[in-house]
A and B are shown apart, each in its own frame.
Chain A
């Protein structure tokens, strides 16, 4: 499938990145996300377990980044194995832009699914993916709103992660984008699985 969308998030770009940089906020936004870890330079692993109707499956994702252009865009490649549920592979080009007080997040996703995901869900994917993406961003928005109230804490979390980096700004952006992209991919994959 191919999916292309933009989402406007009612927060400044910096604040969106901060939120996206918060592992707890990300976990909260992705249903069933068990872990999200760095496994190498530009490589990450994630585990998501979910029960959709009668199907319970755990996906193991390997996520790799390429074409890094901090703080504008990058391409993310993900490979997910879902055991009996099949597999999901995809890549997404993700970018962030300021839009007044808001931040516009754009993504173009190209994904393919196999096994049960393709056999039982194929034709409903597009509609369901859009619906889940909406859910993801609304949850993320709530997380940002909560963060706003606890801004000092959020800043504290940011500091240790960026303090040791020679180019704190771009590293932060990269890390943020990595997670954002991963979530988008995972969200889209989950959607396949929903149907």
Chain B
């Protein structure tokens, strides 16, 4: 192993620039002649636009242009698209109402884009935006997830009767019903998965530049996937041909899913910079982010489990209403369908699963993927239900899980919900977590807490998630409009240092370090001689970006494959230089050696020979630069058990998380420190959902949590010191033996926390966020 190779907790190289304030984010970039854009947004959840009077705004000081949906439509730009098709129960595709980037005659949520004002300065643009007079005729709003498809509800889109986007049944209903009919016991739960605002630290921003000489548009965006943005903007939004559009995702301050999607502002800025022939910049303020970033979660669900007399799961059925908001965001339909129902097996050998998902439109911001995307919703539902099953059967929550786990010798394991798990050892993670958490000592701790007037509870969450979505063929079969491979280019320079171009995008994950370690390990090049380059369609070959914990499991393998190609080519060059047969050349630790001799040549020398091929093997191309693509055979299936211990003050309802243990299976770890950071961040994200975060629209569709005054984010004092450990298994389909780790915490934590609270106060269920008020009320009810 190289000193800074796979398995080393190398400090993150990107932190030097971040800690020195040298990061370069979209809003840091200023170009000559730049103008500022401000969007006029609807204050109504649902209204007809009877007229827009932009005359006063257009005449205001510094205003360059005021543009509306009609201007956009006249230029043939847009509409925004949803890239994944789900087939509804009537055999037709999901209903996809038109999603104009600037409203055409109607607004459908608070924050919907009505017009854009472009001015010399931000202040002038803001002042002028206030002068745009929009005559609205308000319509009744649909704000409730549960009632959106109810009878007599206001219709939002003509194309979607009863506000239904799709009804999606999955599984063998008849066999399922039969199993339920013959069950020893049926346990059930009804719950809400609270709507979240994803809240990356850096708000979204866009800077568009048009070069009339080359007719090229350059868009700097807060994006997790520059090439996907370019592809969608070019192929579906008619912004510019793909080769005349450059998308750059510079430093991006967190994404968590919210920066995957192609947003109205991005398309409008790209279009407007050409229209006014000036660079145009837009940066969201925090309230705009609350209003117009795609939100996450927002399900109302009911789940039932049929059990036999030993507590074995016989069948599970789930009915879900999923809120997709006012329009379909880029991948919205996939989240409550394939990324959700296909996870209902969890870690259990439940033989029959039946699910019905009703996806609805409401007059709220679009809902799409947010850290975990569907899998947290599935895991929360399942792991809460398992605890209810345990209580109904009088079994210990650890025991009922153990009885139902897919045994470790059953892999690869075909679940009844499409997924075929490639590897796992769920009992090993549970055992290790119970040991670390000192489960045996819990009763004593609870008794001690009781003496202090506190209710102590412990909660389990044994999750499995599917990340690194693949293979592309399966994505296509499911109605996805893209392939989900990843690409890499690994280029030696003549002086022996290495530039690695990846199609993934780092916005907090530390790829520049992790991927450099990988290359260091593969090629034996010193860590400091490796630079990882990403985020610019003009620099990197192609790529699908970063989301769904795919970067290492998919993008990392592409890098390794490019390294393999280099090593193979280098053998030819080294054989020639050392006057040996290619078959006798071995490569290890950065050196080509003639087997059985002390003749050796460093890979940097080989690279030099490749660029200065004065004495060079015949038929070998010069240069030392390789591309590779990787399309995995399967998803990656990280799994683990999290155990949360809480203390509840029954007099105030306040919950303190006093202990938290996470034992995860992420396969092989490249940088354990970075992985641990991802685990910490993910758990805190999950704690935020469980205890604090809740996005609320009132009955009129007004967003009443639009700032940090009303939307609580988790802070350091909401979390204890975590106990983090691993129980790895080797995923056979992944050449590096790695799994994704970025979302696991956000998936595993919410049920662990709520199970602990329910355990502490003796309640069947407590809704998220379990604020002091909610918990106090539950305590009163439980008394």
- A114-B110, A114-B700, A115-B110 known; A120 and B287 CB under 8 Å? yes
Q: If the complex has contacts A120-B706, A122-B698, are A114 and B129 also in contact, measured as CB distance less than 8 A?
A: no
User: A114 to chain B: which residues have CB within 8 Å?
Assistant: 43-45, 110, 700, 702
B130–A118 CB distance below 8 A: no
Contact B704 A118 (CB under 8 A): yes
Interchain CA distance A87-B136 in the complex, whole Å? 11
Whether, in the assembled complex, A116 has its beta carbon less than 8 Å from a beta carbon of chain B, the answer is yes
A residues within 8 A CB of B129? 84
Report whether A122 and B287 are in contact in the complex, using a CB–CB cutoff of 8 Å.
no
In whole angstroms, how far apart are the Cα atoms of A116 and B706 in the complex?
9
- Out of B44, B131, B703, which one reaches A119, CB within 8 Å? B703
Which chain B positions have C-beta within 8 A of A120?
Answer: 287, 706-707, 709
Is A113 an interface residue, CB under 8 A from the partner?
yes
Query: Is A119 within 8 A of B130, CB to CB?
Result: no
> Does B559 have its Cβ within 8 Å of any Cβ on chain A?
no
Which residues of B sit under 8 angstroms from A89, Cβ to Cβ? Answer: 138
Minimum distance in angstroms from A148 CB to a CB of chain B: 43
Nearest residue, chain A, Cβ from B134: A81
Tell me if B43 and A87 are in contact (CB < 8 A): yes
Within 113-132 of A, Cβ neighbours of B (below 8 Å) are at 113-116, 118-120, 122-123
CB nearest to B129 among chain A residues: A84
Residue of A nearest to B700 (CB): A112
A83 within 8 A of B: yes
The answer to whether the Cβ of B344 comes within 8 Å of any Cβ in the partner chain is: no
Query: Is there contact, CB below 8 Å, between B700 and A119?
Result: no
Bound state CA distance, A113 and B698, in angstroms? 10
Contact B698 A119 (CB under 8 A): no
Interface assignment of A86: CB less than 8 Å from any CB of chain B: yes
Q: Which residues of B contact A84 (CB under 8 A)?
A: 126, 129-130
**A residues near B709, Cβ cutoff 8 Å:** 120
B702, A118: Cβ atoms closer than 8 Å: yes
Per-position contact with A for B45-84: 1 when CB-CB < 8 Å, else 0?
A: 1000000000000000000000000000000000000000
Chain B positions within 8 Å of A86 at CB level: 43
Instruction: Give A89 to B47 CA distance when docked, in angstroms.
Output: 14
CB proximity of B130 to chain A, nearest CB, Å:
5
Query: A116 with B287: in contact, given A84-B130, A122-B710 (CB under 8 Å)?
Result: yes
With a CB–CB cut-off of 8 A, which chain A residues contact B44? Answer: 87, 114
Segment 100-120 of A: residues with Cβ below 8 Å from B: 112-116, 118-120
Cα of A118 to Cα of B704 in the assembled complex, Å:
6
A119 to B709, CA, bound (A): 10
Residue in A83, A87, A113, A119 whose beta carbon sits within 8 Å of that of B291 in the complex: A119
Which of B43, B44, B702 has the most chain A CB within a 10 Å cutoff? B43
**Known contacts A83-B130, A87-B43, A123-B704; A118/B287 CB under 8 A:** no
Contacts of A87 in B (CB 8 A): 43-44
- With CB as the reference atom, state the residue of chain B lying closest to A83: B130
Please indicate the chain A residues that have their CB under 8 angstroms from the CB of B130 in the complex.
83-84
Q: Which of B126, B131, B698 contacts A118 (CB 8 A)?
A: B698
Q: Which of A86, A115, A123 has the most CB of B within 10 A?
A: A115
- B357 to A: closest C-beta gap in Å: 30
In the bound complex, residues from chain B placing their C-beta under 8 Å from that of A112 are 700, 702
Report yes or no: B703 in contact with A118, Cβ–Cβ below 8 A.
yes
Q: Chain A contacts of B110 at CB under 8 A?
A: 114-115, 118-119
A60 to B287, CA, bound (A): 24
Contacts of B45 in A (CB 8 A): 114
B515 at the interface (CB under 8 A from A): no
B290 at the interface (CB under 8 A from A): yes
A115 to B107, CA, bound (A): 13
Within the complex, the shortest CB–CB distance from B288 to chain A, in Å, comes to 10
* Minimum distance in angstroms from B52 CB to a CB of chain A: 13
User: Closest residue of chain B to A114, judged by CB?
Assistant: B43
CA distance A133 to B291 in the complex (A): 31
Distance in angstroms between the alpha carbons of A39 and B198 in the assembled complex:
47
CA distance A122 to B703 in the complex (A): 9
A2-50 contacts to B (CB < 8 Å): none
Q: Which residue of B lies closest to A89 (CB)?
A: B138
Q: Most chain-B CB neighbours within 10 Å: which of A83, A114, A115?
A: A114
- Encoded as 1 (CB less than 8 Å from any A CB) or 0, chain B from 255 to 296 comes to 000000000000000000000000000000001001100000
**Interchain CA distance A122-B706 in the complex, whole Å:** 10
Within 8 A of B (CB), among A54-87: 83-84, 86-87
Please give the distance in Å from B134's CB to the nearest CB on chain A.
Answer: 9
* Distance between Cα atoms of A86 and B110 in the complex (Å): 10
B: residues with CB less than 8 A from A are 43-45, 110, 126, 129-131, 138, 287, 290-291, 698, 700, 702-704, 706-707, 709-710
On A, residues with C-beta under 8 Å from B are 83-84, 86-87, 89, 112-116, 118-120, 122-123
Q: Can you name 21 A-B residue pairings with CB atoms under 8 Å?
A: A83-B131, A84-B126, A113-B702, A114-B43, A114-B44, A114-B110, A114-B700, A115-B43, A115-B110, A116-B287, A118-B698, A118-B702, A118-B703, A118-B706, A119-B287, A119-B290, A119-B291, A119-B703, A119-B706, A120-B287, A120-B706
Question: Given A115-B110, A119-B704, A119-B707, list of 8 further CB < 8 A pairs?
Answer: A87-B43, A114-B43, A114-B702, A115-B702, A119-B290, A119-B702, A119-B703, A120-B287
Closest 3 CB pairs of A and B: A115-B43, A119-B706, A118-B702
